[in-house]
Structure 1
């Protein structure tokens, strides 16, 4: 991707994507031990809440700073709110948003919204090539920081965890570089001597 390696002068490249749905779920307390000292074998009761939360994320490639937004649905209005958040976070220059080709990203209302915001230009990645979006790598780190091993009771807890994880990840952000880094040189090479 040429936008990652040599972006146009005075522009900011943002990788954008949605994560979700993230569902609130609860688990019943674990059963204890029986009177004779054996573990009680019981089916696990599991409940999902009816609310779904989508997490919109945008990664600024040049410095690794991210912007996130939690929404109750994934539609054009929420995507436009997210684009507005990206525009507010990047007050200068042209903004190039690299994203996938979802219907909410290319809908008529989104295209009309983009006409009123000429600084933002969208670039769509090919279908089936999500690995071209650097936001996918950031999601992997985000999931470990905010979602791994946690049960959320409601969408407010998901929003809170998202906000805290984003602040923590931005505190240690580094530029995202496209491509595989060069291998480290081997300092100690083993030398074998074969005797016959």
Structure 2
């Protein structure tokens, strides 16, 4: 049984300064620093029970380290050597294991440093160092998409060429729709931002329906022509094309669009045939990111929709129009910088990487 009223421990000559330095060190092992505190408190005559409280351990542990110091001095506070040969695994072995999926018995999708360390029977700091050295980050994941469009090269060349060298006396419009925009209303009023406090809102909300935003971005100026509609069928798209025809009554219009089925219905194709001022340029399949209006959609989502509170679809539509009016007052050109060659080289690298895996 640990004696909680043991007599004051007698320190060897010169040990007090060494023990104090251990308690103050930022590089020494935490366990050794704790043992140094135990011995110092024991030397002051503090009871075992009180020492256990102060250093957050048990009276049995206090008794153990008092006894080890009394018998062996400072060397007695060191960890006893473990039986068997020390386990050594180099960084390459750690990385090789990291790159393989964890065994099914763990039920996880990727390694953590602690789980891998336990699996390899090494310290998790060793795993973390190897990961830093090789730039391996198992906790991170990104998405990618590459196009399987057989006309990939032709479409990329067409669209990028349009951006970098637009036709004379013509306007390039990036056209698309942002569908299923939700009119979300919070269940309680938001708490506004204050000095020292961020804006706060309830985690739950009320749904009031959805709307669809049709938009055409004029890349040379940044001007946006838009309409909000309840749905995004061919009827609504045709109505938006007629709106563009009224907004640009005389100029030739080059429309960059994705391959959404609504853009290719028989009625839409017929309307485009009947209006030769409209020239359509389709982005590759799975290549809608080539459409610059997607950048503008990200802006309106981040600045007006994501944190908005909308009491109805009509309220949502009204605030979307407010943003568009404000945007057109402060608009700026959208400049494309990547060449066709850069895009196709990246697409080829992704395709090759996916094939190899």
Structural mapping, 1:7-156, within 5 Å: 7-29=166-188, 45-49=204-208, 51-156=209-314
Q: Deviation per CA, 1:50-86, whole angstroms, max 9, x where unpaired?
A: x320101110011110011101101111111111122
Structure 1 residue 95: deviation in Å? 0.4
Point out 4+ residue stretches in structure 1 off by more than 4 angstroms. none
Computing the radius of gyration over CA atoms, which structure comes out larger, 1 or 2?
Answer: 2
Partner in structure 1 of residue 165 of structure 2: 6
Structure 1, unmatched stretches of 5+, are 31-42, 181-196
Q: Extract unaligned runs of 5+ from structure 2.
A: 1-159, 190-201, 339-357
Which of the two has greater strand per residue?
A: 1
Paired position in structure 2 for 1:187: none
Compute the TM-score of the two structures, normalised by the length of structure 1: 0.79
Within the alignment, does 1:175 sit opposite 2:333 as a pair?
yes
List per-residue Cα deviations over 1:75-128 (Å, max 9, x = no partner). Answer: 111111111122222222210110101111000111112122221121110011
**C-alpha separation in 2, matches of 1:86 and 1:175:** 19
Using the TM superposition, give the Cα deviation of residue 44 of structure 1 relative to its aligned residue in structure 2, in angstroms.
5.7
Distance 1:16 1:26 in 2: 29
Whole-angstrom CA distance in 2 between matches of 1:28 and 1:138: 29
Rate the CA distance shift 1:44–1:61 in 2: closer, same or farther, 3 A.
closer
Compare the two structures and name the one with the higher helix fraction: 2
Q: Tell me how large the CA RMSD over aligned residues is.
A: 1.7
Query: Secondary structure, in 3 states, of the residue corresponding to 1:105?
Result: helix
> For the Cα contact (< 8 Å) 1:68–1:162, is it kept in 2?
no
Q: Distance between the aligned counterparts of 2:283 and 2:203, measured in 1?
A: 41
Are the equivalent residues in 1 in contact too, given 2:173–2:256 (CA < 8 A)?
Answer: yes
Q: Secondary structure at the match of 1:95?
A: strand
CA 1:13–1:25 in structure 2 vs 1: closer, same or farther (change >3 Å)?
Answer: same
Alpha-carbon distance in structure 2 between the residues aligned to 1:88 and 1:11: 15
Whose relative contact order is higher, 1 or 2, with alpha carbons under 8 Å and at least 6 apart?
A: 1
Separation of aligned partners in 1, 2:272 and 2:187 = 47
Paired residues in the alignment total 167
